[in-house]
Structure 1
């Protein structure tokens, strides 16, 4: 399930009707969803507190799909919700799914403003409401909406599809990745570098703001992140307003260049960074890459739970800050131990 929190806390944009809500989905999610159930959670303030997206799936899986929606809505203290089925054709099974979603959300006290169907989130397509026969209209052009203008000004990018996000993290050079795998295997076998030096390597790379270009640099950074204490200490960069954007570019580059399982550490840092900055779609994609590279990964597992349950970002920030502080203390204590 992809989730996106309120992306622009510095500006409020009014969405006047159901068509405007549908047109807002790509800006909120970061991409145009296809064959998806999207649910927009609305808080008592009238703001959209969370946007979730799940693949439609076959009818036997609909009960499980709907069941996963309830907890995130409660976590953001939503008071209302708008389910939207995005699919080329409005089939009877999609209406059943929408009504099942309505029943589940009403069952936990949410009011349902609309339950919508649209073939896509592109402008000019029709939409209608499953709850009211006379409730229908046309989705406005996204590029003409105020929300799209605000998001563009803020530097946000809307991708054509989720697959475009996936491709962003794919390896840039498979042959180089294979070569790096061999170099890492050899280096790790004889590595006796203390965690403090590994952390200094990562800190220097982030503060320098320059991406690694040589195999040697990539191996050195990969070995540093392979120490879970160093990786956890790097969570502090995610929370640093001055360094988070620079650090995120480094995590992205390492995710694209490093082989498994080492790329998992960079991918999970990228996922954490995107999640706390409100980009749930990229966070999910990065997390998927991390879990493929290293299926059993404690931090990835924790983040998966946070994404699935829609934990508030403030709560996640505190967890990250505590983990980073604990890791630094552990590294400092190690340096004090007699050699």
Structure 2
């Protein structure tokens, strides 16, 4: 499941009708969806949250609607638009649409449209399941005001989710093999204090220079594999002065490091991407983390927080608490450092409420829903009837 709450552009972007909303979807998600079921939530006429899943088989319709509704409820939206993107014109997806509309109506939401289109591209037809004679043609997404606003904000829209995922592919397979061998040897004997490990990461972030040599990659891999250091690195994500450089570093490490070390970098990349509103990149990074280390604690907790629609303010506070606790532990660590288990600082295992570290920070969902106007694509005006 992909969720999107992309940062708002500097101006309000008005969407005239359902076709304009469909054209905005690639900009909101960060990629052009295919064979997808989407729910766009609106509050006060502002798009607050976009959720996308692969189109499920009929036997999974009920389960998928239930899954999609978890984050949708957290937004406390007033209205919603349902969208099926599928080349097949057969109305076989009516059952999925019917179940989704019923669930949203039960939750107190008004469904403005339930739309179908073969693709979110210019010239594609669209029609509405709910209203007769409600149909039209999708304008060119690249020519929309929404696309221009996202481009000005420095956001990239990929042609597909697969293209987005390819940015995490290893650029040098031979280097990854070498690093795997080096890390197998050095990780067994490494007794570097956590404070020194953290200094290595801090120097890389503050310099803005990406690692170039095997030695630099190994030092950074050992550093972020120290789980107190990894949790302390959440502080770089939360700091406006370092978050951009830190995310570039996490991306480079996630691309170049071998499993299982790449799981640490991919989890940090996911946390950074999600907090700035790029749910698609966050989910792709989490998939890589779980593939590299299936039982990775932080990746699992963050995935649960995303799937359950934890409010961004609460997630931000949770990361703040985890980073502070990690810094305290690092500062007070004894000279002899014992091996640490793979867990952020004292975090309970319930993903719905405890995503990372010491997760007891404030965060009333009614006060700070995921994708508020300040943190999402929510400056986009909802479509009319």
| Residue aligning to 1:20 | 20
State the Cα distance separating 1:91 from its structure 2 match: 2.2
**Contact map agreement 2:24 2:141 (CA 8 A) in 1:** yes
SS in 2 for 1:103: helix
**Contact map agreement 1:70 1:108 (CA 8 A) in 2:** no
Query: 2:305 and 2:329 mapped to 1: Cα distance?
Result: 25
State the Cα distance separating 1:320 from its structure 2 match: 0.4
2:140 is aligned with 1:141 = yes
| Residue aligning to 1:200 | 199
| Residue aligning to 2:42 | 42
| Residue aligning to 1:234 | 233
Q: Which has the higher contact order (CA 8 A, sep 6+)?
A: 2
Query: 1:335 and 1:322 mapped to 2: Cα distance?
Result: 22
What is the total number of aligned residue pairs between the two structures? Answer: 338
**Contact map agreement 1:42 1:78 (CA 8 A) in 2:** yes
CA offsets 1:280-301 (integer angstroms, 9 cap, x no match): 0000000000011011111111
Query: 2:238 and 2:321 mapped to 1: Cα distance?
Result: 11
User: Which structure shows the higher helix fraction?
Assistant: 1
Query: 1:18 and 1:7 mapped to 2: Cα distance?
Result: 22
**Contact map agreement 2:9 2:150 (CA 8 A) in 1:** no
2:321 is aligned with 1:312 = no
**Contact map agreement 1:6 1:49 (CA 8 A) in 2:** no
Q: Which runs of 5+ in 1 are unaligned?
A: none
**Contact map agreement 1:196 1:335 (CA 8 A) in 2:** no
SS in 1 for 2:206: helix
State the Cα distance separating 1:6 from its structure 2 match: 4.4
State the Cα distance separating 1:9 from its structure 2 match: 5.6
Query: 2:237 and 2:208 mapped to 1: Cα distance?
Result: 14
| Residue aligning to 2:348 | none
- Superposed, 1:44-83 pairs within 5 Å as 45-83=44-82
CA offsets 1:15-46 (integer angstroms, 9 cap, x no match): 11100110010000000000000110001x21
Q: TM-score, normalised by structure 2?
A: 0.86
State the Cα distance separating 1:336 from its structure 2 match: 7.6
SS in 1 for 2:49: strand
Q: TM-score, normalised by structure 1?
A: 0.97
Question: Closer, same or farther in 2 for the Cα pair 1:19/1:338, shift >3 Å?
Answer: closer
Query: 2:181 and 2:189 mapped to 1: Cα distance?
Result: 13
CA offsets 1:243-291 (integer angstroms, 9 cap, x no match): 1011100000000100000000000000000000000000000000001
Query: 2:180 and 2:140 mapped to 1: Cα distance?
Result: 47
Query: 1:90 and 1:236 mapped to 2: Cα distance?
Result: 49
SS in 2 for 1:96: helix
SS in 1 for 2:333: helix
State the Cα distance separating 1:92 from its structure 2 match: 2.7
Question: Closer, same or farther in 2 for the Cα pair 1:193/1:143, shift >3 Å?
Answer: same
Runs of 4+ in 1 over 3 A off after TM superposition: 335-339
